[in-house]
Amino acid sequence: MKILQIDSAITAENSVSRKLTSDIVAKLKLANSNAEVTYRDLNQGVPAIDTEWFQAVRLAPTNPTPDQQKLIDVSNAYLKEVQDADVLVIGSPIYNFAIPAQLKNWLDQIARAGLSFRYTEAGPEGLLKGKRAIIAYSAAGTPLGSDLDFASGYLRHMLGFFGITNVEFVAADRLAFDRDAGLARAQDALELLAA
């Protein structure tokens, strides 16, 4: 089993989502002794896509400039980590009712026509099928699945767009109202998680 662990929280050692991703990975490794983990901390910086990215990556020039090649290499590296993984464990704290900007940037980097999805006569088709995604969702005040939650549906949609339809959530939500209860809900979900 190959696990890709993604963290995106800006709160360092105070991060609940980082603790959850570590706990999820530990559970998976305990049940799968041969599991290999690739770790990516998006808080270290994920370039946002822009005009230069579009011209280098999306338009894919035959002879890219050195600067274009750097943009291509970065995007390819993110995508390859996902392609190689059997399980994605993604930490998604909720900031202002949505996912962190760096997590959005990462999704934009791997949204590659012909590589992570393709357009067919029947509509878009994800090309990263057969993978499992476990989202470590943490929020001070945004309940998972509520009308205020613009993150979980988006994550489920984007992963599904890539062909990853086996998506589960381990949620520590409403932490600002009752931290202990929120952490207990996450622990219960973690215990029910199949390894």
Q: So where are the chain's domains?
A: 2-192
Residues annotated within a binding site for FMN: 15-17
pLDDT surpassing 90 at residue 117: yes
Predicted confidence at residue 195, as pLDDT, reads: 78
Q: What is the pTM of this model?
A: 0.96
59 three-class SS: coil
CA atoms of 43 and 2, how far apart (whole Å): 22
Please say if the pLDDT value at position 182 is more than 90. Answer: yes
Q: What is the reported pLDDT for 185?
A: 95
34-47 burial code (b ≥16 CB/10 A, e <16): ebebeebebbeebb
- What are the pLDDT digits (tens) for 119-152? 999 999 999 999 999 999 999 999 999 999 999 9
User: Which residues define the annotated binding site?
Assistant: 15-17
Instruction: Identify the pLDDT of residue 76.
Output: 98
pLDDT in tens, 153-175: 999 999 999 999 999 999 999 99
Provide the edge-to-edge strand list for the sheet that holds 132-138. 36-41, 2-7, 87-93, 132-138, 166-172
Say which CATH architecture domain 2-192 belongs to: 3-Layer(aba) Sandwich (3.40)
Specify the DSSP element, H or E, that contains 93.
strand 87-93
